[in-house]
Amino acid sequence: MRSTAEARRATVLNAAVSAFARTGFHATPVTAVAAAAGISEAYVFRLFAGKLGLFVAAAGACFERIVVALEAGAERAGDAGPQEVLEAMGDAYAELIADRDLLLFQVQAQAVTDVPEIAEAVRAGYRRVATFVGSRSGASDAQVQQFFAYGQLCHLIVTAGLEQVPEPWARALTAGIRHP
Amino acid sequence: MRSTAEARRATVLNAAVSAFARTGFHATPVTAVAAAAGISEAYVFRLFAGKLGLFVAAAGACFERIVVALEAGAERAGDAGPQEVLEAMGDAYAELIADRDLLLFQVQAQAVTDVPEIAEAVRAGYRRVATFVGSRSGASDAQVQQFFAYGQLCHLIVTAGLEQVPEPWARALTAGIRHP
DNA sequence: CATGTGTGTGAGTGCACACTTACAAACAGG
DNA sequence: CCTGTTTGTAAGTGTGCACTCACACACATG
């Protein structure tokens, strides 16, 4: 045995998050994921229950990484006030998505929510993130809502490439958004 | 001649917005658009420059309809203050996307911005909407930014079906969002 | 070393779908 | 009524891709 199946699954999931992030569910052949993971397409199908199972598992991994990053960010704020903790989480999120994979994967997953299993995975992911953000920061519902609203705005900015647009309307939308 | 090409193009674009909204660019065969429009697939290819040209044209139609709705909404607020005009636009947008087609199309388009022509169409669309919202309302950049942030949050709520989720975290995210 | 179990692949198979081509019918103008 | 133009389609063609299957190699255990 060159490797255990569990270890392979982990590397495949990393490759899957990146690949799906770039080209989305339907336009990403599992051969692309397999190649990025350095194994054959056939073995990917043995490790996961079809392309759909692979995508759902990748969604789990994506949100897992987000929660971990937010935890680390919140730790930097210690037990400061809700606003401070939220800002620390925002900074952590901005750093995390510098490579764009996690952000783009979320956008891609949102676009395929007509598949029930994917919709459920997206809900489960945001459930984890939202409950964590709320409980860890102690912020009000309205503050948590604002946190996610500007997070979603960040998704638009990145997918549309608005950081690169010098026109006033784009500057207005990107003003104060951290990092991208 | 049963119809003029220009009239056909319009009906095809309506069908295309609906079809692409539901299943996205890559998972929507142009046969589906053709069937919804009541014509043959071959004729769709004569009317538009490939599937990509059809999608880009549909994006134009989508943002066009959004701007028209916002104009009508703003008209209802007359020349009140920026905040009132923004709220009137928000209400108009909420009504407009009751059928979900325009909202879902935007999400789908965002997911396919790795295709340069689509990215440009998305930018052009938001350029129209954002400049109109800013100039018509006279609101500050920060207000306009907030308007779009909560609009994007609305996209998440609808795609993930959060209106149907009774748990507290989902209630926090959907609180005060008009309509869905 | 025989046998079993888990890891891994090459070579298909079948189907969906983007796009083309050859052809037909409706109308317009002279 | 004949000729050209526009509207429209049926029937392909080629390709990409999800998924399968038969098979091979690595390692453990008695």
Q: pLDDT tens digits for chain A (180 residues)? A: 578 999 999 999 999 999 999 999 999 999 999 999 999 999 999 999 999 999 999 999 999 999 999 999 999 998 889 999 999 999 999 999 888 999 999 999 999 999 999 999 999 999 999 999 999 999 999 999 999 999 999 999 999 999 999 999 999 999 999 765
* pLDDT, position B1: 57
Whether B15 has a pLDDT exceeding 80, the answer reads yes
Contact (CB, 8 A) for A105 and A20: yes
Chain A residues in contact with B119 (beta carbon < 8 A): 159-161
Q: pLDDT digits over B115-139, tens only?
A: 999 999 999 999 999 999 999 999 9
* pLDDT, position B178: 80
* pLDDT, position B179: 67
Q: Do B155 and A110 touch (CB under 8 A)?
A: yes
Give the separation between CA B137 and CA B147, rounded to whole angstroms: 11
Orientation of helix B50-77 relative to helix B5-27, angle to 10°:
100
Distance from CA of A178 to the nearest CA of B (A): 14
Q: What is the pTM of this model?
A: 0.96
Give the separation between CA B42 and CA B48, rounded to whole angstroms: 10
Q: pLDDT digits over B42-61, tens only?
A: 999 999 999 999 999 999 99
- Give the rounded distance of the alpha carbon of A140 from its chain centre: 24
Contacts of B26 (CB under 8 A, 6+ apart): A24, A26, A27, B112
* pLDDT, position A31: 98
- 8-state DSSP, A140: -
pLDDT confidence bin for B171, thresholds 50/70/90:
very high
Q: Do A126 and B152 touch (CB under 8 A)?
A: no
Question: How many helices (H) and strands (E) in chain A?
Answer: 9, 0
Whether B40 has a pLDDT exceeding 70, the answer reads yes
Contact (CB, 8 A) for A100 and A19: no
Q: What is the 3-state secondary structure (H, E, C) of chain B?
A: CCCCHHHHHHHHHHHHHHHHHHHHHHHCCHHHHHHHHCCCHHHHHHHCCHHHHHHHHHHHHHHHHHHHHHHHHHHHHCCCCHHHHHHHHHHHHHHHHHHCHHHHHHHHHHHCCCCHHHHHHHHHHHHHHHHHHHHHHCCCHHHHHHHHHHHHHHHHHHHHCHHHCCCHHHHHHHCCCCCC
Which of residues 17 through 36 in chain B touch A, CB cutoff 8 A?
A: 22-24, 26-27
Q: Do A156 and B150 touch (CB under 8 A)?
A: no
* pLDDT, position A180: 56
Question: Which of the nucleotides in strand D have any atom less than 7 Å away from a protein CB atom?
Answer: 6-11, 16-22, 26-27
Residue B135: closest C-alpha in chain A: A169
> Which residue's CA lies closest to nucleotide C21 at its C1' atom?
B42
Q: Do B159 and A27 touch (CB under 8 A)?
A: no
* pLDDT, position A54: 98
- 8-state DSSP, A162: G
